[in-house]
Amino acid sequence: MSYLVGSPGPNGFGPASTAEDVTRGLNLEKLTIMITGATSGIGFEAAKALAERGARIVMPSLTMKEGLEAKDKIVALTPKARIVVMKLDLSDLNSVRNFATEFKQSELPLNVLMNNAGLSLNDAPRQTKDGLEMMFAVNFIGHYALTNLLLDTMRSTAKDSGIQGRIVIVSGGVYAKFTPPGGIIFEQLVGSKNPYYGLTGYSQSKLACIYHCLELSKQLEKEGANITVNTLHPGAIRTGLVHMKGIKGYISDNLPSFLFKTPQQGASTQVFLAVHPKAEGVTGKYYADCNEYFLEGEAHNTELLKKTLKWADEWISTH
């Protein structure tokens, strides 16, 4: 019931809070924030709210046209907005590497990395040019590689600026209920016979995102880097991301709007973790509705966590 009512949690925000709410009163002019998937949906709403508070936004985009159109929309609302558009295809590791090189050559700082982009395919399995299941590639592998390539820049920025760096990884509550038996089926991630698409395939990619957060937060904390890593469930939002097909999809599409968050509300938790003072020093946590939430099921499977990240490292090193 609290979801529908929108009751605030311990941090003073709740399901009804928007990205504008959690940034109200903040001056973010010293921050450079990279947001993947910022051309639409909750990523766009996050970029819009953060740009309004003065942050420089780096907007990786699948096409420059799409990125520049999104930039124009934000600038129309906030004429002084600082938006940098760069080309990135998260399904292509060469594109990820080229993007990281280009970004480093720009010599821009990087205070916050928001791994927001998400892909859900509900009609049939699809593979990248290397044969990897597309949702796993975009939602997890591409972001995992991108984060590793940008870590040195984030370390340097945190050290030089004295401002704590933050990595925010958008996951989702579906990981707890819809992953296939065993959590992640590695032997079926590659090739055309992968049966896991739609909600099932999407869920296993989001479980991997949680593993990324848990392990990276420990790594950075151990080395003494001034960078936090947190993950989150944005909530049920009616955007362009479609998880279900057939009768389930029809029912989902025709549920009343009050059962869903708006994109502005859906962006609030990732924005909270990215910039709010109450999230400073918090690391290795899972959030929902701008408050810490508990992890379930396979999220506690440490052996699967190790296997997933080892598999990711090997895939990236050979492709």
CATH at residue 19: 3.40.50.720
- The per-residue pLDDT of the chain, averaged, comes to 90
Helix H or strand E encompassing 101:
helix 93-106
Q: Which of 147, 118, 99 is nearest to 240 (CA)?
A: 118
State which residues form the domain around 119: 2-317
Residue 11 has pLDDT above 70, yes or no: yes
pLDDT at residue number 171: 96
Please work out, in degrees rounded to the nearest 5, the angle formed at the alpha carbon of residue 32 by the alpha carbons of 73 and 85: 40
- 302 versus 180: the higher-pLDDT residue is 302
For the chain, the 3-state helix, strand and coil shares in percent, each to the nearest 5, are 50, 15, 35
For the chain, the domain total comes to: 1
Per DSSP bridges, beta strands 32-35 and 56-61 are: parallel
196 a catalytic residue: yes
Q: What does the pLDDT read at residue 122?
A: 77
The backbone torsions φ and ψ at residue 175, rounded to the nearest 5 degrees and listed phi first, read: -55, -30
At 143-191, the pLDDT tens digits run: 999 999 999 999 999 999 999 999 999 999 888 888 888 889 898 899 8
Mean pLDDT for 28-43 is: 97
Q: Which two tokens stand for residue 83?
A: 């938006």
Residue of 196, 197, 211, 287 with catalytic role = 196
Q: pTM value?
A: 0.92
Place 257 in a pLDDT band, splitting at 50, 70 and 90.
very low
Q: Is 37 left (phi over 0), alpha (psi -120 to 50) or beta?
A: left
Is the model's pLDDT at 249 over the cut of 90?
no
- Beta-carbon contacts of 57 under 8 Å, excluding residues fewer than 6 positions away, are 33, 34, 35, 38, 47, 50, 51, 74, 81, 82, 83, 84
- Could you report the per-residue pLDDT of 235-245, keeping only the tens digit for each? 866 554 444 44
User: DSSP state, 272?
Assistant: H
Q: Return the half-sphere exposure (C-beta side, CA atoms, 13 A cut-off) of residue 161.
A: 20
Among 125-139, 150-164, 190-204, where is mean pLDDT lowest? 190-204
Give the DSSP H or E segment for 199: helix 198-223
What is the pLDDT, as a whole number, of residue 175? 82
